[in-house]
Structure 1
């Protein structure tokens, strides 16, 4: 039997700790690492190509069908997130503010990424479980595809998940019946419409938190995606906008625009 859902996962930011980029200067590590997922019914996977093409069709000067949020101007970004917010999809983001991460915590390559992915898959699994009464088709599981990233061995990631599944000592709250570990895959961003859509989700959240070279961030993109962001009983912060650090610890380090992005989901 086929899967009930598909999920595409992408990130914004990098794993670098220290030498963070500052306004007015080029180079340096991002201050935020954000992992996002977009989730929809498996039967709509081919529809995602049409969704992507309809967004591109409203950008008359665009020369390719591929969506990449970083290459868009402000108007195109707003068009994209407004279009996404009208689709039968849900999105989830897990967010970490790296200046508060001690240097010694994530010493191995991809360790920080794996750690955030654990929290993302927890919420992804809860969402699929929650939606199951309204999604009768398929076997209840989700087919997960990552946007391929350099230096990432996906066999290692699948083994990491198997380790979490065997772990009975720690508070691992993934609802395992919906997670198909063996089918987890990675594809190039340009190959799949779903990966291009989730790139816009991760980048939209990042634009509201990561200060650009001019000292600004833009909360409107994340705000526009609020209607499709996973929540329970109006609680976004435990579900579709999961911050790893407590908000009361984060806010003294943030400017007004960054705090506004967070406050949008109160």
Structure 2
């Protein structure tokens, strides 16, 4: 995948934490895949793109990190994670987090989604959930920002096992379904007019400063909800991002931060796992 010279008005950097494996899932299976898949997007106007490297370098410098030149959440101490989050929250960007709990997906095969030409239907479906929100946000702003409709350039953080050409093809196929009125989930749909196949590409994390910001968002939310994993549970870094998480109808819930499955009580979360979602407006009352 390579980016074209087409004009665009926004850039969305996308990263993930956890993995999309469904055959065996923790905590049901002791040696299973991660309980969560978290996808993040950091979105900005295209005019900000030349400044992103300076932003991350300033954050690294302010943190006093001397061992590496890229910003990587996993390598930061707890206090540095808080400081980095506070600095990111002051940038002219917006961030989104899709948090998919996989317990109820264990061993699941979605025949409808699998009909699309891809071998990674679950990952692609979660990307769809993310792009529904990112495209809606940009579509609502584009006339104010640019006086016309402008496309979104998508850059993915390259990870082993994910074929991003299939992800781009999935979005194209979904657009064809929309045109034919055959989309199954209609509560939200990606605004396909904001996307272009030629403006999607994947890059190594260290090559794109914007992907390092997306890594922070995905990893902060993952640390806030992966209470039973090998890492240390901590909700505070994810809380620092509140200023840049968009709201819909006055709430972050299901827009800037989205929990799946829905309704929220179906995720069967622990008290600790619920905390970050409650902070962002979720109610786990079972109706």
Tell me if TM exceeds 0.5. yes
Corresponding residue for residue 122 of structure 1: 132
Corresponding residue for residue 236 of structure 1: 252
Corresponding residue for residue 5 of structure 1: 10
Normalising by the residue count of structure 1, what TM-score does the alignment of the two structures yield?
A: 0.90
| 1:202 CA drift (Å) | 0.4
SS state at 1:46 partner: helix
Unaligned segments of structure 2, at least 5 residues: 1-5, 282-287
Q: Write the mapping of 1:1-266 to structure 2, written as runs, cut at 5 A.
A: 2-17=7-22, 19-21=24-26, 28-105=32-109, 109-136=119-146, 140-167=150-177, 168-170=181-183, 171=186, 173-211=189-227, 217-245=233-261, 246-250=263-267, 253-266=268-281
**Could you tell me how far apart the structure 2 residues matched to 1:102 and 1:156 are?**
23
| 1:257 CA drift (Å) | 2.3
The alignment's C-alpha RMSD in Å is 2.3
Alpha-carbon displacement from aligned partner over 1:158-216 (angstroms, at most 9, x marks no partner): 22111100112123611111112221000000001000010000001111101255785
**Could you tell me how far apart the structure 2 residues matched to 1:191 and 1:221 are?**
24
Alpha-carbon displacement from aligned partner over 1:74-102 (angstroms, at most 9, x marks no partner): 01111111111111110111111011114
Contact preservation (8 Å) 2:11, 2:44:
yes
**Could you tell me how far apart the structure 2 residues matched to 1:81 and 1:57 are?**
14
Of stretches 231-240 and 30-39 in structure 1, the one that deviates more from structure 2 is: 231-240
| 1:61 CA drift (Å) | 4.0
**Could you tell me how far apart the structure 2 residues matched to 1:49 and 1:61 are?**
16
| 1:134 CA drift (Å) | 3.3
| 1:28 CA drift (Å) | 4.1
Of stretches 168-177 and 72-81 in structure 1, the one that deviates more from structure 2 is: 168-177
Corresponding residue for residue 284 of structure 2: none
Contact preservation (8 Å) 1:146, 1:195:
yes
Alpha-carbon displacement from aligned partner over 1:32-51 (angstroms, at most 9, x marks no partner): 00111000010111111111
| 1:157 CA drift (Å) | 2.0
Alpha-carbon displacement from aligned partner over 1:212-235 (angstroms, at most 9, x marks no partner): 557852111111111111212223
Unaligned segments of structure 1, at least 5 residues: none
Contact preservation (8 Å) 2:25, 2:106:
no
Aligned residues, how many? 262
**Could you tell me how far apart the structure 2 residues matched to 1:225 and 1:122 are?**
20
**Could you tell me how far apart the structure 2 residues matched to 1:259 and 1:244 are?**
12
